[in-house]
Copies of this chain bind each other. A is one copy, B any other.
């Protein structure tokens, strides 16, 4: 504990590390050509046979002796005798030794049994694919250090080569460590963590064109971990230890590497991922990878990948980058290069980048991200509206085919996401950011989204959405009516605290929604109407960003009560005290209404299948779904 961690720049760390590692030579193996796709040759491949290995006809026609045709022309029609002067050949047929040219069937004047007439002389070797036209025996077909592609397999076989020498697959051992880890098929109990990083690593390693070797979970025991590392070192070309790279009470990675090899450096100026340990034994890299999945991912992509590719003698292709406008301010640490995951939308011809959840523990932030924004060390942050460079994690065509939704959360939006994917066979997807109705309204105003789901209650007019739109949005927008939904108090099953109305929230542990969400605005309105002060509400400050997570917290007894929608209560079998029905609509730029994507969205929400699914959830009224209201 308290060991000093360095804070070296990523590129410097990599350079230092690669210098320290021996550029160890990969072993080679002899494999069947049928297995060679994607492998790298360790020796040049030479043809054993020419291709073609005999002179053959390139056309359907007759093989002739060119010399015997020299006199033929339009004035001097020549008659040739079969088997003596010519033989019939199809494309690919061998040319008998005594012949040296082919006349195409189209150029024969007359063809009778045993005779043909010609009116053109043949140039020697015309329409003949000569021996070795493609590959000459004993010539090099493929050089060393070449990664074999489908056409290379074809050329190797055509040169009659059966076995090729290639480098063995580069094996990367993965050792998950931690007493709290369980395999996914074990029964989880409080305190357990289902181990999934090793599967994330496996997938990434396959992408690096290396071979992952997953070892069993090892508990936090110095000797057991050491034994596993020694085994992996013996069997693999590189070893990853996950986690134990920090300085906690049970972080053994440093000491183990230090004992069996040497630590090159510990601590890199990246966030997340800073406590990575780069070490080696006998020239084989051993890397200690932090435990949080996003930290682990950053270390995999930025350290493990370049190191492995270098040792495999493979290039690292530059990531594809685009310029995007940042939709909100990003704060960053001066001390570290930060890796911010962003969603991307293509809106009115511009790419808009919106940061997703930043916690290093949220694997879903990688699921939802379309790209990574790297904020360099010594930069305090980036402002909203700034143009930034994003490294893509997703295909650009997927980004172009995404309907960007920013605003309120409802389970309906999750279902809509799935149904749009189905309707478009995966071509179009819906990407939702749950930031609350008011932020959605502002995102629409600023042109950062295609649609904004909102349910904003105006206390003056006691009506939904339209007053807000009229007040805040200047451009031409329309409303796509989605659902009326029932808001109320979500309480525990059987309502043990006997909560009956908004006035009862002062006596229980409340759980709230985030600022700017329509449900929060509604809650504040209800408090005000009932003369309850925010201070009186125990838990007013505790925020969840979706109805689902709020309901789940109540189910788990972390809170007694929260305002939310009926369907969320229903999912978890909780009790529900209805308070009001509100209008949950989609705000859309009018110029977008006729776009292909909004049409697919409209087709989807008007589909009976979709409507049935929503009604099954309960608490929704779908009477006017799909109607368009101009504002």
A contact set with B: CB distance below 8 Å? 23, 33-34, 37, 40, 44, 49-55, 58, 60, 90-94, 97, 123-125, 129-146, 149-155, 157-158, 160, 162, 180, 184-185, 188, 190-191, 193-197, 199-204, 206-207, 246, 248-250, 291, 293, 297, 313-315, 317-318, 359, 361-364, 366-367, 395, 397-398, 414, 417-418, 421-422, 424-427, 429, 539, 541-542, 544, 546, 548-549, 552-553, 556-558, 571-572
Contact = CB atoms under 8 A, between A and B. Distances in A.
Contacts of A398: 315
A249 B91 CA distance: 11
A185 B49 CA distance: 13
B154 A397 contact: no
Contacts of A53: 188, 190
23 contacts: A23-B425, A34-B199, A49-B188, A54-B190, A54-B191, A55-B558, A90-B249, A91-B248, A92-B193, A94-B190, A131-B553, A132-B549, A134-B361, A143-B417, A143-B429, A144-B421, A150-B200, A150-B203, A153-B203, A157-B184, A160-B188, A315-B427, A318-B397
Given A138-B572, A362-B133, A151 B422 contact: no
A93 B180 CA distance: 9
A134 B185 CA distance: 20
A160 B189 CA distance: 13
Contacts of A418: 44, 140, 143-144
Nearest to A296: B154
Closest 5 CB pairs of A and B: A150-B203, A145-B426, A157-B196, A151-B366, A154-B200
Given A52-B193, A152-B367, A158-B293, 12 more contacts: A93-B191, A94-B191, A134-B364, A135-B364, A144-B422, A146-B426, A149-B203, A150-B203, A150-B207, A157-B194, A313-B425, A313-B427
A158 B367 contact: no
B134 A553 contact: no
A149 B202 CA distance: 11
Given A134-B361, A150-B204, A180-B92, A397 B144 contact: no
A481 to B, nearest CB: 23
A138 B134 CA distance: 60
B184 A139 contact: no
Nearest to A546: B136
A178 to B, nearest CB: 8
A interface SS class:
loop
A128 to B, nearest CB: 10
A131 B196 contact: no
A565 to B, nearest CB: 14
Contacts of A129: 359, 361
A140 B123 CA distance: 72
A248 B552 contact: no
Nearest to A366: B151
A206 to B, nearest CB: 7
Contacts of A50: 552
B131 A556 contact: yes
A154 B318 contact: no
A520 B314 CA distance: 41
B155 A548 contact: no
Contact of A162 (B133, B144, B184, B313): B184
A13 B510 CA distance: 64
Contact of A60 (B124, B248, B318, B541): B248
B395 A124 contact: no
Contact of A139 (B202, B362, B414, B425): B414
Given A194-B158, A203-B153, A549-B136, A144 B426 contact: yes
A62 B417 CA distance: 41
Nearest to A200: B154
A54 B52 CA distance: 69
A613 to B, nearest CB: 11
A200 to B, nearest CB: 4
B313 A140 contact: no
Contacts of A92: 180, 193, 291
Given A160-B188, A397-B318, A124 B202 contact: no
A603 to B, nearest CB: 16
Nearest to A429: B143
Contacts of A414: 139-140
B196 A130 contact: no
Nearest to A314: B426
Contacts of A291: 91-92
A368 to B, nearest CB: 9
Contact of A363 (B151, B204, B297): B151
B54 A150 contact: no
Nearest to A246: B91
A317 B150 contact: no
A592 to B, nearest CB: 22
A193 B58 CA distance: 14
A162 B185 contact: yes
A168 B350 CA distance: 37
A630 B631 CA distance: 79
Contacts of A93: 191
B132 A553 contact: yes
A190 B52 CA distance: 10
